[in-house]
Amino acid sequence: MADFTALKPGATIGILGGGQLARMIALAAARIGLKCHVFAPEPDSCAFGVVRRATLAEYDDEAALARFAEEVDVITYEFENVPADTAAFLSSRKPVLPDPSVLATTQDRLTEKDFVTSLGIATAPYAGIASAAEILPAIRKIGLPAVLKTRRFGYDGKGQIKIGPKDDAARAWRSLGEAPCILEGFVQFTREVSIVAARSADGEVVSFDITENEHSDHILKVSRVPARVSASVGKEGRLIAQKIAEALNYVGTLAVELFVVGDGKDETLLVNEIAPRVHNSGHWTIDGATVSQFEQHVRAVAGWPLGKPLRRGRIEMINLIGTEIDDYSKWLGVPKAYLHNYGKPAARPGRKMGHVTKVLAEEPAAKDAKVAPKAKIKATPKTKAKPKGRGK
């Protein structure tokens, strides 16, 4: 990585990707005196409208990438599928944070699961499938029902199929284009939660409260904080995020999506996936906490100290999907409801167009945003996940 020193106010952060995450990073940066330059290939990128400089070019356009690198002080990204060549090209010119090695771990579900289990953190049981001959052995190992997922490029439920005992697994694999896959045991979770945390350049980790997430058609619909989990599960979530961030030598904001399994004293967590970026389940922090996930990310990549987020109460974040954005005006009169419209031109079905954060009840917030001591995690023994060797 190119040499890096803390940015001064007025410096420029380059962001790869021009969607709502880049837009909200740029808005947070502007508030604390930093500029942003967004690089994205889509002409209607909604982040273009809020930044000082924008580059509209493909990720393999080396001339455009070189100019972009020349004009910024540090580079970050809003999505995990940044092509490896793009990240390598840029990191030879300017610091790229989080380090591109993080992308190599998190772009591939099998490599990511191997990494998580190598830390002694539980996941659903899983097996890789690289050819038709590996389907039956994987099913024998994992059992059914299971979820077949492509190793790369899956999101919002795309690139995955649930397989039950009566289903034709080979056909399911063919329907995913015979791509390299991972078969995961189907988890009977009680709820889905996530932890959003940030790690600074000097290694401090600060996490937000564990957040409960409700999906509709595989797309996040509502996040609620606090999540309905025990205090010990909340603490376990923070430690999992901290351990992952430290093992990746991560700089910036990341999210860990988790399943809650069991109940009462047996309640525990399984990691579903890591998002090496700011995350939809952390949008509530803009209006619901004293420092947001976006500002934490900006502070981290700028080499600045992180903030200590205090939650403003019981919070609900509702995604406005597709034409739901057309009803924006109904939110304008709701007390303690904060409307965010990403300014996207076309409200296609399933497209995240905006969100609303509601502060439902003010609470004493003192418990929030603990800075955890050095991560110390015991492997959770109640899962069937078998630790495997490190990935490919």
The residue ranges that bind ligand AMP (CB under 6 A) are 124, 147, 154, 157, 184, 186-187, 192, 215, 218, 257, 272-273
209 or 273: whose CB is closer to ligand AMP?
273
Amino acid at 97: L
Q: How far is the CB of 56 from ligand AMP (least distance, A)?
A: 29
Nearer to ligand AMP, 185 or 354 (CB): 185
Question: Taking the complex as a whole, how short is the minimal distance between the CB of residue 270 and ligand AMP, in angstroms?
Answer: 8
- Least CB distance to ligand AMP at residue 194 (A): 10
Q: How far is the CB of 371 from ligand AMP (least distance, A)?
A: 28
Q: 33 or 157: whose CB is closer to ligand AMP?
A: 157
Query: Is 127 or 302 the residue whose CB approaches ligand AMP more closely?
Result: 127
Least gap, CB of 341 to ligand AMP (angstroms): 25
Task: Provide the β-strand partners of residue 15.
Answer: 38, 76
Least distance from C-beta 318 to ligand AMP, angstroms?
A: 17
Judged by CB, which is closer to ligand AMP: 44, or 217? 217
Cα dist. 164→173, 226, 260 in Å?
13, 34, 22
**Single-letter amino acid code for the residue at 259:** F
Bridge partners of 268, per DSSP, are: 261
Minimum CB–partner distance for residue 355 and ligand AMP (Å): 18
Smallest separation, CB 273 to ligand AMP (Å): 5
What is the Cα–Cα distance from 312 to 291, expressed in whole angstroms?
10
Residue placing its CB nearer to ligand AMP in the complex, 85 or 263? 263
Q: How far is the CB of 145 from ligand AMP (least distance, A)?
A: 8
Nearer to ligand AMP, 152 or 235 (CB): 152
Query: d(Cα 147, Cα 58) in Å, to the nearest integer?
Result: 33
Could you give the CA distance from residue 325 to residue 94 in angstroms, rounded to a whole number?
38
Q: Give 127's contacts (C-beta < 8 A, 6+ positions apart).
A: 134, 137, 138, 141, 142, 182, 183
Measured distance CA(127)–CA(139) in Å, rounded: 8
User: 28 vs 181, which CB is nearer to ligand AMP?
Assistant: 181
Minimum CB separation from ligand AMP for residue 109, in Å?
A: 7
Residue placing its CB nearer to ligand AMP in the complex, 4 or 186: 186
Q: Are strands 314-321 and 219-225 parallel, antiparallel or unpaired?
A: antiparallel
Quick one: angle between helices 62-71 and 84-91, nearest 10? 40
Nearer to ligand AMP, 41 or 154 (CB): 154
